[in-house]
Copies of this chain bind each other. A is one copy, B any other.
Amino acid sequence: MPKLTFFNLDPERRQAVLDASVEEFAKHPYEQASLSRIVDNCGIAKGSMYQYFEDKLDLYLYIVDLAYEQKRAYVGKAFSLEGDIFTVLEEYYWQSHLFAKDFPLLHQVANNFWDSRVLLPQIEEGRIDRARDFSKFLEEAIASGKANPDLDPQAVFFVYHAVGKDLVDEFERGTNGEFIREVLDVLRYGLQVRREV
């Protein structure tokens, strides 16, 4: 967490620090991001940064938090939706996409986070949280006869996690809603031909 000094700051100055930091961590993963570049880009002294934050990691985790806070404001809408698991998933990725469009830099910060090599414990923790949420969701869908009960739930989560991650990456290249729907259709219907009753 930032030190108190940071919150006492002149808002304009504080925003300049945030903007420069977000930009740096959007362009570079944690290990390659440079504090020197950040202070150059917002025109404050190196020493000042250490009045506001404990160290580079403290700043980084704060910025990542900001990004995810904003992202939750978008994707959260999906979960309050009435509808089956397929509707919710489509809305989830659609909201992710809108977030990426509205806050491209925050989106990149959030994405870079998963590639980091120093923060493996935090990343693993996040994965486990998501897996738990997802499996509860999946169980309901199976119970209500919407989802295929023959599939291994762990494997299902694995597939959705992998595809979701790349889908979100793809947003930087201007994916549209149509593509999201087509990708989800692949996951929904499977590659093998269906000869339903």
List residues of A whose CB falls within 8 A of some B CB: 29, 31-32, 85-86, 115, 117, 141, 145-152, 154-156, 158-159, 161-163, 165-167, 170, 179, 182-183, 185-197
Find chain B residues with CB under 8 A from A195 CB: 196-197
* Complex copy number for this chain: 2
Query: Which of A117, A141, A155 is most buried by chain B, counting CB atoms within 10 A of its CB?
Result: A155
Complex: chain B residue closest to A178, CB-CB: B152
In terms of DSSP, what is the predominant structure of the interface of chain A?
Answer: helix
CA distance A192 to B9 in the complex (A): 53
Query: When chains A and B are docked, how far (Å) is the Cα of A195 from the Cα of B145?
Result: 11
Contact of A196 among B152, B163, B194 (CB under 8 A): B194
Is B155 touching A183 in the complex (CB atoms < 8 A)?
A: yes
Chain B residues with CB under 8 A of A156? 186, 191
| Alpha-carbon distance A120/B195, docked complex (angstroms) | 42
Looking at the complex, which one of B147, B151, B166, B193 makes contact with A147 (CB distance below 8 Å)?
A: B193
A152 proximity list for chain B (CB < 8 A): 179, 182, 185-186
Are A151 and B193 in contact, with the CB atoms below 8 A?
A: no
Q: What's the nearest-Cβ distance from chain B to residue A157, in Å?
A: 9
